[in-house]
Amino acid sequence: MTRPVFRFAPSPNGFLHLGHALSALLNAARARGEGGALLLRIEDIDATRCRPEFEQAIHEDLAWLGIVWEQLVRRQSEHFDDYRAALATLKAIGLVYPSFESRGEIARLAAGVDPDGAPLYAGQAKALTLAERERRIAAGEPYALRLDMAAAIGLTGRLTWTEAGQGSVAADPAAWGDVVLARKDVPTSYHLSVVVDDALQGVTDVVRGADLYHATSLHRLLQALLGLPAPAYQHHRLVVDDTGKKLSKSTQATALRSLRAQGATSADIRQLIGL
């Protein structure tokens, strides 16, 4: 049996809250129980929102919770070349096209909403001629690079993933439409980098919040297109606030640091999140 590899992959764009504690502790418990490794990955592709003090706090808060992770820690901002290479592979098979619309235009022309509730891009830029694309890029217009979803699904056919407690789940990547693979301001996207990194780091088991359940359809598609192995998935319950809403990094009350400053112990945190 190969040794299972788990990862906790927060973004340093705020302080960790009780929901992160649940995710990190579930990963740590599975790694311990299954004789596996636990990796820490810092998902910091968005330089405008990520800050060194939040990254430092991730290390401190996890250590305080009693979590032990392996070195080295992978910081996504140091690996843009890996994501560019994956993008180049998708380009070479003709699955990537530039789109120039503003956020406002995308919302106005939307063809519905994606599983996150964001406007679903209707694919207008796919119709631009090569000459027009080149002219606009040469003129310095900002653009995102998108996946041609219909063509991608045509290549992979039907896909499934393995979900803990459910078994085989049918993937539905079409629900995401022509997703952004590289943003206007960042040469990659969450979806592309997570898939590349899980493969490069040999992650066998992805344990993360239920808010990313539907993203797994897209992750399976990208894995299939890039020839990457598929980890097994476990999407866990979310920690919610008094009104039933998912916790946010902007709410101080549920931040691990605030709770610690008020005298909470790591045992109290476990109790608060029902572990």
Stretch binding ligand GLU (CB under 6 A), from 3-11, 123-131, 144-152, 237-245: 3-11
Spell out, one character per residue from 23 to 52, where the chain touches ligand GLU: x when CB under 6 A holds, - when not. --------------------x---------
* Residue of 4, 5, 6, 11 interacting with ligand GLU (CB under 6 A): 11
Instruction: Output the furthest CA–CA distance in the chain (Å, rounded).
Output: 63
Minimum distance from residue 10 beta carbon to ligand GLU (Å):
5
CA atoms of 144 and 186, how far apart (whole Å): 9
- Per DSSP, helices labelled H in 34-162 are 52-65, 80-92, 103-108, 130-138, 149-156
Sheet containing strand 160-163, strands side by side = 70-75, 37-42, 5-8, 205-209, 232-236, 160-163, 167-170
* Residue of 9, 87, 225, 269 interacting with ligand GLU (CB under 6 A): 9
Q: Compare residues 116 and 134 and give the one whose CB is closer to ligand GLU.
A: 116
CA atoms of 73 and 42, how far apart (whole Å): 7
Report how far apart, in Å, the C-alpha atoms of 112 and of each of 106, 108, 208 are.
Answer: 11, 10, 27
Minimum distance from residue 43 beta carbon to ligand GLU (Å):
4
Q: Compare residues 10 and 119 and give the one whose CB is closer to ligand GLU.
A: 10
Q: How many of the other CB atoms lie within 10 Å of CB of 227?
A: 8
Q: Compare residues 194 and 222 and give the one whose CB is closer to ligand GLU.
A: 194
- Our finding on whether 19 is near ligand GLU (CB under 6 A) is no
- Our finding on whether 10 is near ligand GLU (CB under 6 A) is yes
Instruction: Round to the nearest angstrom and report the end-to-end CA distance of the chain.
Output: 29
- Our finding on whether 61 is near ligand GLU (CB under 6 A) is no
Minimum distance from residue 233 beta carbon to ligand GLU (Å):
10
* Residue of 175, 212, 226, 228 interacting with ligand GLU (CB under 6 A): 212
- Our finding on whether 164 is near ligand GLU (CB under 6 A) is no
Q: Which residues in the 185-204 window bind ligand GLU by CB under 6 A?
A: 194
- Reply yes or no: is the peptide bond before residue 72 cis, omega within 30 of 0: yes
Give ∠ CA 90-93-95 in degrees, rounded to 5: 60
CB 13 within 8 A of CB 249: yes
Q: Compare residues 45 and 125 and give the one whose CB is closer to ligand GLU.
A: 45
* Residue of 17, 146, 191, 208 interacting with ligand GLU (CB under 6 A): 208
Residue 155 main-chain phi, psi, to 5 deg:
-80, -40
DSSP letter (8 states) at residue 245: P
Minimum distance from residue 264 beta carbon to ligand GLU (Å):
22
Q: Compare residues 150 and 240 and give the one whose CB is closer to ligand GLU.
A: 240
Binding site for ligand GLU (CB under 6 A): 9-11, 43, 194, 208, 212
